[in-house]
Amino acid sequence: MSRSPDGVEAILSGVDTGQRVRNAWTDLIGISHLEHMQVLVSPDSPICPKGWIGVLEVTDCVTATVPREGLKYAVEFALSHLTALQAVSPQALLPNFPTMNEVLGPASLFYPEKFVPTADLAEVDEVAVHQIAPLIRDALPKDIERAGSATSRERRL
C-alpha cells in the first residue's frame, strides 16, 4: 500500500496498471474477465448509449455489447475479421455495418502508472448559466441530451 500526498490510501503496489484497468472495466461491465473477443447482450450497457452497439478495446481484448440477441452473431462475425485496434476504428468497423448511421468516439483514455491526486491537477471555476448560454444555444439538441447537463430552461437561453 502506498499513501498519497493528501493522506488518502491507494492500493497500488503489486498490481500493474494494465491489471487495474482490466479489473475496473470488468467490474463496470459486470463480467469476470476480458477475453480476446467477446460479444455480450446488454440492453443497458454501461459502455454505450441505450440501444447502441458498444465496442471496447483494453490491452488487445475486444468486448462488444449489443442491445438484443439478434445482433450478437452479426457483430461477432464483423469483429472476427478485425484486429483489436481495427475493432475500435470507425473507418474499419463501418464497412461491416452498412446500416450504421451515427458513431460516438473513439475515446482514448489515459491510465497513469502512479496515483495522481486530482487536487494538484487543476482548479475548478464555477460559472453562471448566462456565461455558458452561448455554448448551449449553439449546441445541437442531441449533443445537449448526450451531455445530460442542460435543462429545458437552459436550452431556451
- Each domain of the chain, given as residue ranges in start order, spans 2-96, 125-155
Residue-wise pLDDT tens digits, 14-54: 557 778 888 888 998 899 999 999 999 999 898 888 888 89
Residue-wise pLDDT tens digits, 65-123: 999 999 999 999 999 989 999 998 888 888 887 677 777 777 777 666 666 566 655 66
Residue 124 sits at the vertex; the CA angle it makes with 121 and 126, to the nearest 5 degrees, is: 175
Q: Is 79 helix (H, G, I), strand (E, B) or coil?
A: helix
User: CB-based burial of residue 66 (10 Å sphere; 0-12 exposed, 13-18 middle, 19+ buried)?
Assistant: buried
Tell me the C-alpha distance between 65 and 107, whole Å: 16
Question: Is pTM, for the whole model, over 0.85?
Answer: no
Q: Is 2 helix (H, G, I), strand (E, B) or coil?
A: strand
Q: Which residue has the higher pLDDT, 122 or 127?
A: 127
